[in-house]
Amino acid sequence: MEKESFWTRIYRLGSIVGRILRWDRLVLAGLVVYIVLAFLQGSLAGPALLVDYSAVATLAGLIAGATMVEASGLLHWLATGIARRAPRGLALPIVLLVGGIVSGLTLNDAAVLVVAPLAVATARALGGNTAWALVLALASVNLGSSITPYGNPQGLIVYHYYGLSWKVYMSFSVPAFLPPLLLVSALGFFVGGRGRKGGPGVGVYWRTAFLGLVSIGVAVTAGLGGWPLVAAGFPIFFLAVSGLLRLYNLRALLLVWLAYADARAIGSLLRIGSPTGPVETYLYSVVLSLVVSNVPSTVLLLGSPWRPLLLGADIAGLVHPWSSIANLLGLRITGISMREYGWRSALLGGILVLVYLVLSFIFFGKT
Amino acid sequence: MLEFARLAVETVGRALPYFSVGPVFRGPAGGPVDIVVLYDGLAVDIVHYDPVSDSVSPKGRPVHYAGPVDTERVRRTVARVLRESVALEGAEFREPERAWVVPVAWRYLIILHVRVSWNGERILLDPHLQARLYRW
């Protein structure tokens, strides 16, 4: 590729902000909501002060790591390798199931940065539907991360607040979230595509891939260890050293920051009591998660019965990008359009919310 | 080294029939009209398109054009050109990327530079182009 002229680079740099505001409706919507909330709070910095900057720093590092992994071609190599070797039609289900299990063992925000692009790349390699692949990938990450106490922030919050043991937590989470994870993985059979291609395989820039994976590990470890500067700093440094700093997805980070600020600000303005009935708690949890996303809604409802609280927050997290930060990340990192993603996730998430509402009446209604 | 270079040229030759056209990029303020070439979903390189002659332009000569462009027509033209292209019998090695670069020509014009792994066996993506493809 020819080198761009200096003025083209300046133009491109200067047009980034304009492009974000013009073409990224989610960011624009987030900014509008921020301004309204700041006005309601009486301070422009109000929502910004509510953001968990330690979490944002961890995410900043994760995005840098994921950028390197993506740029190295590792995910495409994995995707085409799986696509060529897996039995026909099973490539995407395998990616979804393994991705869901992996996300239970690590932070869902870290898992989504690998699983989402991998699922999309697999579908693309096989001529499948990439929008559905993303919806199913985000669902599998969200569901898989719900199975263990450490898979996602809301699970961690509930686990610590209610003083649960692993046994008690997972005696609920496994029967609650494993069946839909298996279902979501199976749905990948219908949308993943079956096309097979000849030709030579795709390669990987292994040095970049290694740095990317190490960066993800550093971001997760340092983030959990309470060293946000390390969590963000090292991966971004590695990204710069790899010559890929220009590829850093600032838009994804900005979107996450806005989501945190807006959700926390909305949460602080809401005055809601703690529901005590299990079905009522489930409904509150679902509705609040759809409005302020699942982590703030979990915090707002602490004190209510934990099983329906967790169920509502985790299932509602499948419905739209706003209901889970992981969804926002997955959407931005894969480049699938909101229009393609939106109605599909609402359909799948909406059906699961209703199914679990019925199940809540059956199982929780007895208590 | 010679063997890896030969393999790299052969790999591009085998991959060529599976190259497909991706999105059309317009440069800022009616700048160059470029189309992304994909292999297995990977962005491999861009081809310069000349809207005036409805043909491709060689590497080093992006055509600046301010008028409207029929993207479907661009895709059809470049797809036809790709079918008629050949990998040239020569490769250069880029140490920073540890990759071979094999030129692809249509008639007497070099239109693509395809990256291949150091051992000549696998096609590599263009990371910057790949990011542009799926982010913006």
A319-366, pLDDT tens digit by residue?
888 788 888 888 877 777 778 888 898 899 999 999 998 888 887 765
Question: Measuring CA to CA, which residue among A140, A170, A167 is closest to residue A155?
Answer: A170
**Interchain proximity A1–B128, CB inside 8 Å:** yes
If you average pLDDT over every residue of chain A, what do you get?
A: 84
Of A130-139, A235-244, A267-276, B43-52, which gets the smallest average pLDDT? Answer: A267-276
Chain B: closest CA distance from residue A243 (Å): 10
Question: Measuring CA to CA, which residue among A110, A104, A112, A181 is closest to residue A148?
Answer: A104
Q: Which residue has the higher pLDDT, B9 or A275?
A: B9
Of B59, B62, B97, the CB nearest to A205: B97
Q: What ipTM, to 2 d.p.? A: 0.84
Position A367 confidence tier, pLDDT thresholds 50, 70, 90: very low
Q: How far apart are CA A306 and CA A169, in angstroms?
A: 10
Which H or E run includes A356?
A: helix A338-363
Q: How far apart are CA A244 and CA A254, in angstroms?
A: 19
CB A154 within 8 A of CB A295: yes
pLDDT of residue A138 exceeding 50, the answer is: yes
**Interchain proximity B123–A121, CB inside 8 Å:** no
Residues of A with CB below 8 A from B99's CB?
A: 203, 205
CB A314 within 8 A of CB A326: no
DSSP secondary structure, A202-222, as one string: B---HHHHHHHHHHHHHHHHH
Place of tokens 């970049």: A208
**Interchain proximity A200–B45, CB inside 8 Å:** no
The pLDDT score that the predictor gives to residue A310 is 93
Residues of B with CB below 8 A from A195's CB?
A: none
Task: Report yes or no: A8 at the B interface, CB cutoff 8 Å.
Answer: yes
Best residue in A2, A7, A208, A331 for a mutation probing chain B (most B CBs within 10 Å): A2
Q: Which residue has the higher pLDDT, A355 or A292?
A: A355
Residues of B with CB below 8 A from A243's CB?
A: 96
Position A4 confidence tier, pLDDT thresholds 50, 70, 90: low
C-alpha torsion B77→B81→B83→B89, nearest 10 = -160
Q: How far apart are CA B131 and CA A67, in angstroms?
A: 9
B78-117, pLDDT tens digit by residue?
999 999 999 999 999 998 888 999 999 999 999 999 999 9
- b (16+ CB within 10 A) / e for B26-47: ebeeebbbbbbbbbbbbbbbbb
**Interchain proximity B28–A1, CB inside 8 Å:** no
The pLDDT score that the predictor gives to residue B30 is 66
Q: How far apart are CA A145 and CA A173, in angstroms?
A: 10
A61-95, pLDDT tens digit by residue?
888 888 888 888 888 788 778 877 888 788 899 99
**Interchain proximity B128–A121, CB inside 8 Å:** no
Q: Which residue of A has its CA nearest to B130?
A: A71
Q: How far apart are CA A311 and CA A189, in angstroms?
A: 26
